A and B are shown apart, each in its own frame.
Chain A
Amino acid sequence: MSRKFDRAGEAGLQFYGKMTASMSHELKNVLAIIKENAGLLNDFTCMAEEGGMPVDLEKVKRVTEKIAKQTRRADGIVTRLNRFGHSIDESSKSVDLWDLLEFVVALSGRFASMRGVTLERKPPASRVTVTTVPFFLENLVWLCLDFAMGVAGTGKTVGLIVEETKNGARIKFTHLEDLAKVPPDTFPAQRAKVLLGALNSELAVDVEAQEIVLTLPESIGG
């Protein structure tokens, strides 16, 4: 079991690096916007002091609102980063599957946007929970999502559905128009296989239905 976890941990390091690099990139963008807007305020002040040009209060208000908006955006990114860091804290925990999926979607937002893919989510009728290793599951959901975005085809949409099953739960990644175009053994690749093993879960690739289905046990020990 521990060897299985070690290998899953190696996969996790790559996931951790990718996500933190993405969040830091996003933060840099936010800081650049804040800096330019603060610079604009400074420009207005200099124009008033040196050029005698009266300060346009409407412009000042618009710029300060932009700074406030970007500060909220940065706060959201840091909150995500903090939650992501803490997802390593517990080796086994009961998680709300929809909440976890939404979190991975938030982590993946920049990647989806870079690929021009929309992530369409349909919340379950009632709360679906599983007892699992949160960080490994986040990693596995990301690998599925990453693959799904790559085979979304011209529709450029990936549907995400969480459902309760008799023995646990499943996440469906749908609308995968180009699923038939990839060789059958492409996914799951080695890293996903290791995580599937560590989480006692299964993955089914349904080319006809254009979807992949990740099935999770109610409890990782079960």
Chain B
Amino acid sequence: MKPRILIVDDEQEFVDSLSERLAIRDFDVTTSSSGEDALEKVKKYNFDVIILDVKMPGMSGIETLREIKRIKPLTEVIMFTGHAEVETAIEGMKLGALDYLLKPCKTEDLVSKINMGYDRKAKQEERIRQAKASEIMSSPMSALKE
């Protein structure tokens, strides 16, 4: 299955061109132009990696990140930032973002971070599956609790 990506940025033309480039690189891309809209999509669909702009009108990148992590803790988030907001991006990493990138960034760097996020999420999901399986093996009744 292709890695599922959500790009969240209020610069529509940036979102359009970046999504086209990532689609060429075989990613399954969805876009969103605000934090509020992104959260609706996060509730409905399972994304592997979210690319999130730090500065947006309405709900800020940090607020959006906090909510994403509350709704889907395993979804990886890469923050997109201008040079003046690096501290905000670091705050984002403290809240669970995988990493941040300065705009404009090299496509290879972005793709490498997306792949890193995809792998990390897949490994974490696998660990959770294994933990659940071993719990069921050691105590079969626990499966009934779910």
- Residue pair A36, B84 in contact (C-beta under 8 Å): no
Q: Does A116 contact B (CB under 8 A)?
A: yes
A157 to chain B, nearest CB (A): 15
Q: Does B66 contact A (CB under 8 A)?
A: no
Report Cα–Cα, A21/B58, bound state, in Å.
20
List A90-108 residues whose CB lies under 8 Å from chain B.
none
- Residue pair A32, B104 in contact (C-beta under 8 Å): yes
List B40-68 residues whose CB lies under 8 Å from chain A.
55-58
Picked from B14, B58, B84, the residue with its CB within 8 Å of the CB of A25 is B84
Digit string of B65-85 for contact with A (CB within 8 Å is 1, else 0)? Answer: 000000000000000001110
Q: Does A40 contact B (CB under 8 A)?
A: yes
Q: Does B94 contact A (CB under 8 A)?
A: no
Select the stretch in B17-25, B113-121, B128-136 that faces chain A: B17-25
Q: Does A127 contact B (CB under 8 A)?
A: no
Report Cα–Cα, A40/B107, bound state, in Å.
11
- Residue pair A70, B13 in contact (C-beta under 8 Å): yes
Report Cα–Cα, A70/B14, bound state, in Å.
10
Q: Which residues on the B side are within 8 Å of A47 (C-beta)?
A: 24
Q: Which residues on the B side are within 8 Å of A29 (C-beta)?
A: 11, 14, 82, 103
Q: Which residues on the A side are within 8 Å of B105 (C-beta)?
A: 32
Tell me the nearest residue of chain A to B10, going by C-beta: A113
List B1-50 residues whose CB lies under 8 Å from chain A.
11, 13-14, 17-18, 20-21, 24
Q: Which residues on the B side are within 8 Å of A31 (C-beta)?
A: 103-104
Known: A40-B20, A40-B21. A33 touches B13 (CB 8 A): yes
B58 to chain A, nearest CB (A): 6
Picked from B17, B18, B58, B104, the residue with its CB within 8 Å of the CB of A28 is B104
Q: Which residues on the B side are within 8 Å of A40 (C-beta)?
A: 17, 20-21
Report Cα–Cα, A210/B24, bound state, in Å.
53
Known: A28-B104, A70-B13. A36 touches B58 (CB 8 A): no
- For this complex, 10 residue pairs linking A to B, each with C-beta atoms less than 8 Å apart, are A24-B82, A29-B11, A31-B104, A33-B14, A33-B17, A40-B17, A40-B20, A66-B17, A69-B13, A114-B55
- The interface of chain B, by Cβ under 8 A from chain A, is 11, 13-14, 17-18, 20-21, 24, 55-58, 82-84, 103-105, 107
The 8 closest A-B pairs by CB, nearest first: A32-B104, A36-B17, A35-B104, A32-B103, A25-B82, A33-B14, A114-B57, A28-B82
